[in-house]
Amino acid sequence: MMKKLVINSAWCKGCGICAAFCPKGALEVVKEKVRRKEGTDCILCGQCELRCPDYAIYVDETKEDGNA
Amino acid sequence: MAGVNMTGVSPKTAQVSDLIWKYMRPENMPHIWCPGCGHGIIMREVAQAVENLGIDRDKLMIVSGIGCSSRAAGYMDANTLHTTHGRAIAFATGIKIANPELEVIVLTGDGDASAIGGNHLIHACRRNIGLTVVVMNNSIYGMTGGQYSPTTPTGEFGTTAPYGNIDRDFDVAQLAIGAGATYAAKGSVYHVPQTVKLIENGIKHKGFSIIDVADVCPTYYGRKNKKGSAVNMMQYQKDNMVPADKAKTMTEEELKGKIVVGLLKETEYPEYTEEYQKIIDRFVKGAK
Amino acid sequence: MPKRVLMQGNEACVEGAIAAGMRFFAGYPITPSTEIAEVSAVRLPQVGGHFVQMEDEIASIACAIGASTAGAKAMTATSGPGFSLKQENLGYACLTEIPLVVVDVQRSGPSTGLPTSPSQGDVMMSRWGTHGDHPIIVISPSSVKETYELAIRCFNLAEKYRQPVIFLMDEIVGHLREGIEIPENVETVDRPTVEHPTAKLAAYHVEPGQLVPAMAPFGHGQRYNISGLFSNEKGFPTNSNELTEEKMQRIMHKISDNYDDIVQVEETGLEDAEVAVFCYGGTTRAAITAVEEARAKGIKAGIFRPVTIWPFAERELDAVCKKVKKIVVAEHNYGQLLHEVERVAQGRCKISFIGKVNGTVITPDEILAKIEEE
C-alpha cells in the first residue's frame, strides 16, 4: 500500500479551503489552482480531502500493482 | 482515511478518490457549484456515510428538489431523481411507500425544504416515514442570485432584503422536531467527521430523520453580508461551534450566531411503511 | 362469468384502475372526487397496493409520480381547484416520461365555484394547464360502465406511451350510479423496461423504431438520473439546443403520430344525419334523449362524441362536417371545445352552441331546441 497526495487541477476552483485548513501549511493557491508548497511536509492526513468541495484533492491509496 | 470497498466497482479511469469514483458520476464533473460552495462537501459527507454503512448503490435512492443544492442528484451514482421546487420529500414519500427496500435520502436546500416545501417537510416528520433528509442550509437562495430565505437570520441581507431582513428565521431542525421528527441533528461543512456520523446514524434510524447541515455560500450570502471568503466562513464555523449537548443548556441569546453540531433528538416510533404493511398483511398473505 | 353490480362512477374509476394494475394511489379530499380516494383506501391494501392521503394536492401528484418511478402503476384524483395545483408536476411527468393517471372530476368553477355542481370547465386546462408545450392524452367517460373501461384504457395508454393521461370525468358521471358488468379478464399493458438493467444503460436512450425509452424502475441496478430539466440520454441536465429539439420532437410525436391508436370517438345515428350534436362526458346523456326526440319528430339527428378529448378528434369530425348541415355543440362551459369544432368545420356547416355555467345540467329539451332551430 502506497499513499500519495493527488491534485486534480482540472476540477480545482481555487477556493483555498484545503490550504487554509492544512495542519502543515503544505498547500498554496496560485492562479486559482492549488498546489503543493515547496519546502513543506505533507503528512497525508487527508484533512484537505474532507473539505474540498470539488473533489480535486485526495490521498490516494493505490496498491503497488496499481489497482485501487 | 478509511478504505472504500471497491468490490463490484468498475476500475477507475478518472483522477478521483475511490469514494468519489464509487458514489459520483465523474463524467458530469467538475460540478456547477461556485468556488468555495459547501454543497460539494455535504455531498461527500453523504457518500461517506453511505459507504460506512455499506449500502448497495443499486438500492440507494437520492431525491432532490430545485435550487443549487438539488443539482446534487445528477452527480451521485445511485438511483437519482431531480424533482420540482419544494416537492422532493413528496416524491420521495411515494418512492419509499412503493418500494420500502430502497434507502431514500433527500438532498435539499433551506428554501426548498422550509419555504416552498415546508408543508411536505412537516408532514413527513409527522408520518415518521423512513426518509433521511439532508438540508444543505446556506441561508440564501443561490440559484436565483441571493434572495433571503427562511433561514436567513433577522437583520442580514439579501437582494430582496436590501434594508436588512425583518423576517424571523427558522431553525429547521427544531421545526422538524416540533412536527414530530424522530431523529434530528445538526452538522456543518467544517465538522466533517462529526457530520458524516450524524448522517450515518440518521440513515440507520428507523423512521424519519433530518440532518440540518450549516453550509457556506461565499458567492451570495458571504458577499451580501460581508462574511469574507469561503475560508473565512469555514473558520467562523470552526470558531463558533457549540456541541448539541452544551447548546441545550444555553439561552436563545447565547446561541445567537453559534453553529450547533450534534444530535438534537432521537426517539423510537413505528415507521410508516411498516405500519402500512401490517394493513396489507391483513388481506394479502405473503405480499411484499 | 362477468359480475353485474350497481356502482357509482367514482367507484368504477377505482375498480377499473385496479383491474388495469393500479397499485398506488395518493390523494387529497376534494368534492366531487373524494369517493375515488375513499374507495382506493379500502381497496388497495386488499390487493397488496398502497393508498396514502397526502398533505395537499401538489404532494399527491408528486407522491404518485415518485411511486411510478419505483415501478408502481399510480394514480391521483382531484377536482378543479386541485387540478390547478397539480399542473406543475403534471408537466414534470410529461417531460420525464413517467406513466401516471390523473383523474379530474370536474365541478363548477372558477375558484371554489360550486363544488357539488356539474361542469366541463377544465377541458382547456387539461390540454394546456401546465406551462410549456407538452404532449397530453385526455379521456372523458359518459357512463359508469365506460368509466370502468376507460380507466383501464388510461393506464394502458400511460404505460405504453410513458405519458401522464388525464381521466377527465365530471360531477354527473362521478356521482352517477348504474348497473355495470365487471369483466372477468381485462387486457393490460406494462411500460417498456429493460431485461438486464445495469448502470451502463442510458435510461433515456430510445432504440430506432421505438416510441419511448425502455427503462427499469428505480432500484433494479440501472442507477440513472431523472430530471425536470432537459437532459441527455443518461438523464443528466443539458443546455444543448439540439438535444432539447430532439426530445421535444420525440415526446410530441409519440402522441401525434399515434393518433389512430389514441383517438376514440363514438358516432351514433350520423349515417343519414343532417344535424350532429357534438358532446362528451356527462352531457352526452341529455344529448341521447334529445336526438331520440328529434328523430321522433322526423329530424335526422345524430351524435358525435369524442371519447378521447385530446388529441382532438379532428379527422373524424372533419368527415362529419362534410355531410351535416349543422353541428350543435353542447358542453358545460362557456365554449371550450366549441372553438375546436369551429376550427375543423371551417364554415362548411352551421355551428350552434349550448353551454351552461350556472351549476345546472343541460336538459334534453334545451338541446332539442337547438337542433330544431333554423
Q: For every one of its 374 residues, what pLDDT tens digit does chain C have, with 9 covering 90 and above? A: 789 999 999 999 999 999 999 999 999 999 999 999 999 999 999 999 999 999 999 999 999 999 999 999 999 999 999 999 999 999 999 999 999 999 999 999 999 999 999 999 999 999 999 999 999 999 999 999 999 999 999 999 999 999 999 999 999 999 999 999 999 999 999 999 999 999 888 999 999 989 999 999 999 999 999 999 999 999 999 999 999 999 999 999 999 999 999 999 999 999 999 999 999 999 999 999 999 999 999 999 999 999 999 999 999 999 999 999 999 999 999 999 999 999 999 999 999 999 999 999 999 999 999 999 98
A59 touches chain B (CB under 8 A): yes
Chain C residues with beta carbon closer than 8 angstroms to that of B99: 70-71, 217-219
Is pLDDT of A14 > 60? Answer: yes
Q: How many CB atoms lie within 10 A of CB C133?
A: 11
Beta strands per DSSP E along C255-324: 265-268, 275-278, 301-306, 308-310
**B89 within 8 A of B135, measured Cβ to Cβ:** no
C233 touches chain B (CB under 8 A): no
Architecture in CATH for domain A4-60: 2-Layer Sandwich (3.30)
Is pLDDT of B242 > 90? Answer: yes
Please, what is the angle between helix C314-323 and helix C337-345, to 10°?
60
Q: How many CB atoms lie within 10 A of CB C334?
A: 11
Q: Is the ipTM beyond the 0.90 threshold?
A: yes
C123: left (phi over 0), alpha (psi -120 to 50) or beta: alpha
In the structure, what pLDDT confidence band is assigned to residue B2 with cuts at 50, 70 and 90?
low
Domain ranges of chain A: 4-60
By three-state DSSP, how is residue B89 classified? helix
Q: Which fold has domain C266-372?
A: Rossmann fold (3.40.50)
Using an 8 Å CB-CB cutoff, list residues of chain B that contact chain A. Answer: 1, 3, 6, 11-12, 15-18, 20-21, 24, 29-31, 33-41, 44, 189-190, 192-193, 218, 229-231, 234-235
Size of interface B-C (CB pairs under 8 A): 148
**C64 within 8 A of C23, measured Cβ to Cβ:** no
Question: Which of C68, C95, C225, C240 would best serve as a mutation to test chain B binding (most B beta carbons within 10 A)?
Answer: C225
In the structure, what pLDDT confidence band is assigned to residue B285 with cuts at 50, 70 and 90?
confident
**Chain C neighbors (3+ CB pairs < 8 Å):** B
C143 to chain B, closest Cα gap in Å? 31
Q: What is the pLDDT of residue A66?
A: 46
Instruction: State the residue for C-alpha cell 376534494.
Output: C30
**C133 within 8 A of C49, measured Cβ to Cβ:** no
Chain B residues with beta carbon closer than 8 angstroms to that of C50: 97-98, 276, 280
Of B139, B79, B142, B81, the C-alpha closest to B110 is B139
B40 to chain A, closest Cα gap in Å? 4
Chain B residues with beta carbon closer than 8 angstroms to that of A16: 36, 229-231
| pLDDT single digits (tens) A32-66 | 999 999 999 999 999 999 999 999 999 998 665 44
Q: Please, what sign has the CA dihedral across residues B152, B157, B161, B164?
A: positive
Q: What is the pLDDT of residue C312?
A: 98
Q: Which fold has domain B18-281?
A: Rossmann fold (3.40.50)
Q: Please, what sign has the CA dihedral across residues C330, C332, C334, C337?
A: negative
A14: nearest CA partner in chain B: B35
Q: Do domains C3-182 and C266-372 have the same CATH topology?
A: yes
> What average pLDDT is seen over chain B?
97
A17: nearest CA partner in chain B: B231
B60: nearest CA partner in chain C: C219
Q: Model-level pTM?
A: 0.97
Is pLDDT of B287 > 80? Answer: no
Q: Do chains A and C touch (3 or more CB pairs under 8 A)?
A: no
Separation in Å, CA C17 to CA B10, C20, C25, C101, C152: 42, 5, 10, 9, 6
- How far is Cα B234 from Cα B194, in angstroms, rounded to an integer? 15
Q: How many CB atoms lie within 10 A of CB C218?
A: 30
In this complex, which of C66, C220, C224 lies closest to B95 when CB atoms are compared? C66
**B88 within 8 A of B108, measured Cβ to Cβ:** yes
In this complex, which of C54, C67, C219 lies closest to B58 when CB atoms are compared? C219
A51 touches chain B (CB under 8 A): yes
CB-CB under 8 Å, B229 with A16: yes
In this complex, which of C50, C63, C199 lies closest to B90 when CB atoms are compared? C63
Is pLDDT of B115 > 90? Answer: yes
**C2 within 8 A of C184, measured Cβ to Cβ:** yes
Of B209, B222, B196, the C-alpha closest to B272 is B209
CB-CB under 8 Å, C72 with B284: no
- How far is Cα B72 from Cα B79, in angstroms, rounded to an integer? 12
Partner residues linked to B136 by β-bridges: B109, B213
A10 to chain B, closest Cα gap in Å? 8
Q: What is the pLDDT of residue A61?
A: 83
In this complex, which of A8, A46, A67 lies closest to B1 when CB atoms are compared? A46
C60: nearest CA partner in chain B: B90
- How far is Cα B73 from Cα B92, in angstroms, rounded to an integer? 13
| pLDDT single digits (tens) B35-54 | 999 999 999 999 999 999 99
**Chain A neighbors (3+ CB pairs < 8 Å):** B
- How far is Cα A22 from Cα A37, in angstroms, rounded to an integer? 11
In the structure, what pLDDT confidence band is assigned to residue A68 with cuts at 50, 70 and 90?
very low
C235 touches chain B (CB under 8 A): yes
- Strand-strand pairing, A33-36 and A27-30: antiparallel
CB-CB under 8 Å, A49 with B17: yes
**Chain B neighbors (3+ CB pairs < 8 Å):** A, C
C93 touches chain B (CB under 8 A): no
Domain ranges of chain B: 18-281
Q: What is the pLDDT of residue A2?
A: 86
Question: What's the CATH superfamily of C3-182?
Answer: Thiamin diphosphate (ThDP)-binding fold, Pyr/PP domains (3.40.50.970)
